[in-house]
Each structure stands twice: as C-alpha cells, then as structure tokens.
Amino acid sequence: MTPVSAAGRIGTRMDRLPLGRFHRRLLALIGAGLFLDGFELYLTAGVLGALTRSGWSNMTTTRASSRRTSSA
C-alpha cells in the first residue's frame, strides 16, 4: 500500500461520514464570528466617517499636539 492510496482512502471515508451536532455547532460559531467581525468593521468605518465629517476627529490635532510636546 502506497501513502497516496492510503490518503485517498482516508479522504473518501471522511467524505462519507455524516455531519454531527458538533460540526453544525462549530460551523454556526465560525459563521457568527465572521459576521461580528465584519459588522464591527462596518460600524467603525461609519463612526469614524461621521466624526471626521463633523470636525471632531482629524489628523491636524494629533500633529499639533506632537509638535507641542517636541518643542517644549
């Protein structure tokens, strides 16, 4: 028996095995994690855009504060 044929038989056996409760739960957890990760990025972009548009957040205040600390 060569390693290639053994790997092929293992693969076909795994394909025939049914999905259990554990597999469905794991798939649901991974899906929920991916959804929450994308949703967090969506919210972050929206909040940052609104803060920048309102003038509350911009890069000039960061640069000005770093100039003040370096010149003192």
pLDDT number for residue 15: 87
Compute and round to an integer the Cα radius of gyration of the chain. 26
Is position 6 within any domain?
A: no
Structural domain total, the chain: 1
pTM over 0.75: no
Start-to-end C-alpha separation, the chain: 77
**Domain annotation covers residue 34:** yes
pLDDT digits (tens, 9 = 90+) for 43-67: 988 888 888 888 787 755 555 555 5
pLDDT of residue 39: 96
Flag whether 2 is in a domain.
no
Greater pLDDT, 17 or 25: 25
Rounded CA-CA distance 3/52 in Å is 59
- Domain of 40 in residue numbering reads as 20-71
